[in-house]
Amino acid sequence: MEDKKNQLLTENKIKKSKIKIDWGRQGSVILAYIVILLGYYGIVANIAMVNEAEEYISFTEMDRTMLFWTFETYSQIFFLPILLIFLVCFFLTYKEDIPHYGIKASIWVVPFIISEAFIFYWLMFGFAAEPFILQFGHWKGYSHILILFATTLSGALIGMKIKQLVISKTKI
């Protein structure tokens, strides 16, 4: 009996010493946000840092509005940033068992992108009120927000509908 008790105690100690973190949902959301962080403005920077003669320029010479009105560059870069946001939001919602979690995570992509623009502006050009004027004091800033919300919601809703279609096909 004493042997069995000692064995259970050692098994409990072994189980307690291992910490297991399930990165399933949280990990994919964090990975999606990192992809947006690096991919969205990385694609835009490839256009912003090149002048008309296709020479790389310093970030101090770039058009500062490009951080806040990125929709103006979409046609030059084949709509890759919008496609990236759409696909990330699609997969965030598609992989969730409860689609509302994916939709909620997708909607949070928009404030994340807008705050990224502010942070990048302040890191490159210093603190100023100009980012607030560019984002909230001009119609192009609001249209940028609407385009981002439309893209994230359409990606999330299509991901939800395709997941429902796949589940209904597997039940048949």
50-83 pLDDT, tens digit each: 777 777 777 777 777 788 888 888 888 888 889 9
The band of 9, judged by pLDDT with boundaries at 50, 70 and 90, is low
Look at residue 30 in the predicted model and tell me its pLDDT.
Answer: 86
Per-residue DSSP letter, 143: H
Kindly report the average pLDDT of the chain as a whole number: 83
Indicate the pTM of the whole model: 0.78
Look at residue 44 in the predicted model and tell me its pLDDT.
Answer: 82
- Owner of token pair 């509005």: 65
Element (H or E) spanning 149, and its range? helix 139-171
Element (H or E) spanning 41, and its range? helix 24-48
**CA-CA-CA-CA torsion sign (162, 164, 167, 169):** negative
| Residue 58, both tokens | 């310093």
Q: What is the mean pLDDT of residues 113-129?
A: 89
Look at residue 155 in the predicted model and tell me its pLDDT.
Answer: 95
Rounded Cα distance between 146 and 153, Å, is: 10
Say which residue, 49 or 85, is predicted with more confidence.
85
Q: Is the pLDDT of residue 13 over 60?
A: no
